[in-house]
Amino acid sequence: MKSSKGPKVQGSKGSIQKCVAAMLVAGGVAVGAAQTPAPDLHGFTYPIAGGCLPKGAQLMPNAPRDYRKGIHEGVDFYNADNCTRITRGTPVLAAKAGTVIRADVNYVRPSLAQNNAALKDPKTDKSVDQFRGRQVWIDHGGVVTRYCHLDGIVKGIAVGMTVTAGQPIAMVGETGTPSSYTKPGSEYHLHFEVRIGESYLGKGLPIAKEREVYGALFSR
């Protein structure tokens, strides 16, 4: 099993921050000394114990999708290409200390009709949120992490509470995925997003630079 400390990062901390700032500007987020400084994206832990970044680009941000506005906005952790066993119920961990701002403890699975309706109009914010399924969001101060497709949420996790890095917050599932209706049990994985403002980490970056930024994210 590979270490969860993250791959060796090529390039200085300053170059990573410049890269992130450029990404945010491209996404319409104002950054700069007189506005909002680019956040420090280091010191996060993998949301799955023993996990690592997938080698395949299809599980990384910017991969094409038939739904979700046509593009993937996070990293998928499946039971393949992620350095560790992942299945239904695998613990999901807070990637860094922060405050819970969303916890779908009373999640109700959409009906098949609602799923089909979302697939007919998949690019609306409502449909995209539905496809993420049960979720927990954590605010780390300028950066928000999202944990999606959850099977359940750890008892006691609620909006407003503070969590620590590595704290179990939920369990891997497949909620919200269209395949959970057509082929139940085939899509158990964690969809993990890093959000800065209205943008997602890696937006518009080539895959090599994207991996560099995520490598820095999970560096200590």
- CA dist 117 and 121 (Å) reads 7
Name the more confident of 203 and 13.
Answer: 203
Q: Give pLDDT, residue 197.
A: 87
Both structure tokens of 202: 């890696």
| Alpha helices in 42-86, H assignment, sequence order | none
* pLDDT number for residue 63: 82
Where do runs of H (alpha helix) occur along 87-170? 112-120, 125-132
Q: Residue 41's pLDDT is what?
A: 86
Domain boundaries, the chain: 47-199
The predicted structure's pLDDT at residue 16:
59
Q: Which of 23-37, 157-171, 191-205 has the lowest mean pLDDT?
A: 23-37
What's the pLDDT at 6? 40
In the chain, beta strands by DSSP E? 75-77, 91-93, 98-103, 136-139, 144-148, 152-153, 162-163, 168-171, 190-196, 199-200
Pick the CATH number of 47-199 from 3.30.70.260, 2.70.70.10, 1.10.3720.10, 3.40.50.360: 2.70.70.10
Q: Tell me the range of 10-24, 40-54, 155-169 where mean pLDDT is highest.
A: 155-169
Average pLDDT score, the chain: 86
* Model confidence, pTM: 0.86
Over residues 28-37, the mean pLDDT reads 51
Distance of CA 156 to the CA centre of its chain: 22
pLDDT above 70: percentage of residues in the chain = 81
